[in-house]
């Protein structure tokens, strides 16, 4: 099977040209300005951008959390991702106390196998570190699970103390992996939550008011300092606060391998959403929380200046009905997380490129190339080049769509951006040479996605 995409504007992190892309089976085999080879199928991409498929390196599909399970499994979540122009995800497998890392990996592989419609990898969440688990970390890196997520928040669930974090970092520094960090001071937050509840403050907005920006900044600083002492790259996940960004900027100015992502929710939503009437604020209960509106500009500047290197989604959807309502009388029981896997590429194009905050190349870099490089997928993924997987999105920069839970494909009963019109739509989506979304229809197959063995640093 061969496919020729003609007359599009090819955009990578570094290139922008009118050109054609030739695909044989699952691989890009030629690029040119006027390719004339015969192909089984020709797609005319006139007036469209031809970009590498989006890579979302922070998703939580089928994840037990907060007394329930995230609403999208690997089928619905990856089909929604495909509609939104994302062709690879890196999800989080969880080692629960007493379990081996390999058991956790196998568990998450079983969740994905036969269901995922796009390619996937895993970060490993470590909650129980002993000598045997440390040995397993090395084995996992060799097997292509090359990043470990640690938590400085959620005491009693995921949170680890500094000594454990440091041991995991030392091991990762030696085995060529990367540390992902949820950076919020969980001890401080716990005290503030208990005090708020004792004062009868139970509404969703207290989720945000008990998670100060300084608690994120302190943990970000600590995570980077621990990583510096352990000599390991650290990637701060879901950075939301300007104060935390300052910590990353300072570290990068000193030349440290400190990286950070932010997410669309922190660029387009704000604390004001928690003030929506009734229980509506629960839609936005996530950690870290939404910040004051003024933070958005600071994050956009960080994205433009490369103090932030990636935009992922932290897709962790819970329905308002029956899931978010677990915390109707107590904000601390509202499952943390929100949907976003489907809306990332359009939101960032509309709110970033069209407004002039970031360039077209930077859009591709932040949503595909840079995550691919940081997490060992590049150059197989994250670019359009001969030899790369044919993961390609044909993006219509002029098409408009109105975001709504009723028309999006995520299995969740609300959308945080309900009613927002965006310009720029992923029209045709190709995963390893197969057209999986076309004319608004999913043409792929659940189970066609494959586990991707990621590379380590060494």
Cα gap 382→62, rounded to integer Å: 25
Tell the smallest beta-carbon distance from residue 63 to Zn ion (Å).
Answer: 9
Sequential DSSP letters for 60-123: --S-EETTEE-S--HHHHHHHHHHTTEEEEEEEEEPPTT--HHHHHHHHHHHHTTT-SSEEEEE
Show the site string, 391-430: x = touches Zn ion by CB under 5 A, - = not. ----------------------------------------
Q: How many residues does the chain have?
A: 458
Tell the smallest beta-carbon distance from residue 157 to ligand URP (Å).
Answer: 10
Strands (E), 289-420: 310-311, 392-402
The reply to whether 182 sits near Zn ion by the rule CB under 5 A is yes
The partner in contact with residue 412, picked from ligand URP, Zn ion, none with C-beta cut-offs of 5 to 8 angstroms by kind, is none
The neighbouring-strand residues paired with 422 are 401
Helices 295-305 and 242-253 cross at an angle (nearest 10°) of 20
Whether 283 contacts 342, CB under 8 Å: no
The reply to whether 314 sits near Zn ion by the rule CB under 5 A is yes
- Look up residue 97 and give its two tokens: 């106390």
Closest C-alpha among 350, 258, 340, 270 to residue 306: 258
The partner in contact with residue 311, picked from Zn ion, ligand URP, none with C-beta cut-offs of 5 to 8 angstroms by kind, is none
Q: Which residue, chain included where needed, has tokens 């704000």?
A: 270
The partner in contact with residue 337, picked from Zn ion, ligand URP, none with C-beta cut-offs of 5 to 8 angstroms by kind, is ligand URP
Tell the smallest beta-carbon distance from residue 386 to ligand URP (Å).
Answer: 36
Closest C-alpha among 219, 308, 223 to residue 267: 308
Among 73, 216, 314, 427, binds ligand URP (CB under 6 A): 314
Q: Which residues inside 283-312 make contact with ligand URP, applying CB under 6 A? A: 286-287
Please state the φ and ψ torsions of residue 228, each to the nearest 5 degrees. Answer: -65, -45
The reply to whether 180 sits near ligand URP by the rule CB under 6 A is no
Given the complex with ligand URP, which of 39 and 316 has the nearer CB atom? 316
The reply to whether 216 sits near Zn ion by the rule CB under 5 A is no
Residues in binding contact with ligand URP, number by CB under 6 A: 9
Q: How many Cβ atoms are within 10 Å of 225's Cβ, its own excluded?
A: 15
Tell the smallest beta-carbon distance from residue 313 to ligand URP (Å).
Answer: 10
Q: Which residues inside 320-349 make contact with ligand URP, applying CB under 6 A? A: 336-337
Show the site string, 157-176: x = touches ligand URP by CB under 6 A, - = not. --------------------
Does a cis peptide bond (omega within 30 degrees of 0) precede residue 449?
A: no
Among 48, 60, 211, 454, binds ligand URP (CB under 6 A): 60
Given the complex with Zn ion, which of 286 and 360 has the nearer CB atom? 286
The reply to whether 185 sits near ligand URP by the rule CB under 6 A is no
- Look up residue 236 and give its two tokens: 């701060």
* CB-based closest residue to ligand URP: 336
Q: How many Cβ atoms are within 10 Å of 331's Cβ, its own excluded?
A: 25
Q: How far is CA 212 from the centre of its chain?
A: 23
Q: Which residues inside 222-261 make contact with ligand URP, applying CB under 6 A? A: 238
Contacts with Zn ion by CB under 5 A lie at 182, 314
- Please report, as ranges, the residues that interact with ligand URP according to CB under 6 A: 60, 182, 238, 286-287, 314, 316, 336-337
């Amino acid at each position: 099977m061969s496919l020729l995409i003609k007359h599009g504007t090819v955009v990578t992190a570094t290139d922008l040209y009118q050109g054609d892309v030739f695909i044989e089976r699952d691989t890009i085999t030629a690029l040119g300005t006027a390719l004339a080879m015969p192909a089984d199928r020709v797609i005319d991409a006139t007036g469209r951008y031809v970009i590498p498929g989006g890579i979302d390196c922070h998703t939580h599909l089928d994840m037990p959390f907060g007394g329930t399970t995230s609403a999208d499994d690997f089928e619905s979540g990856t089909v929604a991702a495909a509609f939104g122009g994302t062709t690879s995800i890196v999800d989080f497998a969880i080692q629960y106390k007493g379990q081996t890392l390999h058991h956790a990996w196998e568990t998450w592989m079983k969740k994905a196998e036969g269901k995922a419609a796009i390619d996937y990898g895993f970060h490993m969440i470590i909650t129980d570190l002993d000598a045997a688990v440390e040995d397993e970390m090395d084995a996992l890196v060799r097997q292509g699970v090359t990043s470990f997520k640690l938590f400085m928040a959620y005491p009693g669930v995921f949170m680890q103390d500094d000594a454990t974090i440091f041991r995991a970092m030392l091991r990762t520094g030696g085995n060529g992996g990367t540390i992902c960090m949820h950076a919020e001071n969980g001890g401080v937050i716990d005290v503030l939550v208990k005090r708020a509840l004792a004062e009868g403050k139970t509404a969703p907005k207290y989720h945000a008011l008990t998670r100060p920006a300084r608690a994120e900044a302190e943990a970000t600083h600590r995570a980077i300092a621990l990583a510096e002492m352990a000599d390991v790259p650290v990637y701060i996940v879901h950075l939301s606060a300007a104060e935390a960004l300052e910590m990353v900027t300072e570290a990068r100015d000193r030349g440290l391998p400190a990286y950070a992502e932010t997410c669309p929710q922190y660029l387009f939503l704000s604390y004001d959403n928690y003030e929506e009437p009734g229980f509506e604020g629960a839609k936005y209960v996530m950690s870290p929380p939404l910040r004051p509106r003024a933070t958005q500009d600071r994050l956009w500047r960080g994205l433009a200046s490369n103090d932030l290197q990636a935009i992922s989604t932290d897709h962790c959807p819970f329905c308002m009905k029956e899931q978010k309502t677990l915390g109707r009388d107590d904000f601390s029981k509202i499952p943390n997380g929100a949907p976003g896997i489907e809306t990332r590429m359009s939101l960032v194009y509309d709110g970033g490129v069209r407004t002039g905050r970031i360039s077209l190349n930077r859009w591709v870099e932040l949503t595909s190339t840079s995550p691919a490089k940081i997490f060992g997928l590049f150059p197989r993924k994250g670019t359009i080049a001969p030899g790369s997987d044919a993961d390609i999105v044909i993006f219509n920069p002029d098409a408009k769509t109105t975001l709504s839970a009723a028309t999006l494909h995520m299995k969740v009963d609300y959308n945080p951006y309900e009613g927002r019109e965006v310009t720029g739509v992923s029209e045709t989506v190709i995963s390893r040479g197969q057209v999986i979304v076309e004319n608004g229809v999913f043409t792929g197959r659940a189970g066609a996605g494959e586990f991707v063995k990621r590379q380590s640093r060494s």
